[in-house]
Amino acid sequence: MAKATTADRKASAADVRAHAEDVRRIAVEVGVGNPRVRPDGTVVVHSEQPGYRDVVALSQRLTDLVGWYVHVITDDVPGADDATAV
């Protein structure tokens, strides 16, 4: 399967939730916590690290897992409030 990119279809909340256990495991592996998903499929996480290195790593790994682009943001930005547990 070809690698998914940001130009491809974005994963839905259902796509992400179908892999919930792996999403939580991978989040821990890359060093972020409290993964949640918004109704539009965006994954929201908490990160103690400055910058977006961990967020980008999580997005890449989840995109590979789900098969569609998975957008990831941190919980310190606007729009993160409507996310619920994965």
Superfamily of domain 13-85: Beta Polymerase, domain 2 (3.30.460.10)
State residue 51's pLDDT score: 87
64-77 pLDDT, tens digit each: 999 999 999 999 98
Residue 3 pLDDT > 80: no
14-67 pLDDT, tens digit each: 999 999 999 999 999 999 999 999 999 999 999 999 889 999 999 999 999 999
List strands edge to edge, sheet with 84-85. Answer: 72-74, 43-46, 33-37, 84-85
Domain coordinates in residue numbering, the chain: 13-85
Say what the pTM is. Answer: 0.89
How far, in whole angstroms, is CA 43 from its chain's centroid? 4
Phi, psi dihedrals of residue 69, rounded to the nearest 5°: -60, 130
| List of residues 6+ apart from 5 with CB closer than 8 A | 69
Q: Is 34 left (phi over 0), alpha (psi -120 to 50) or beta?
A: left
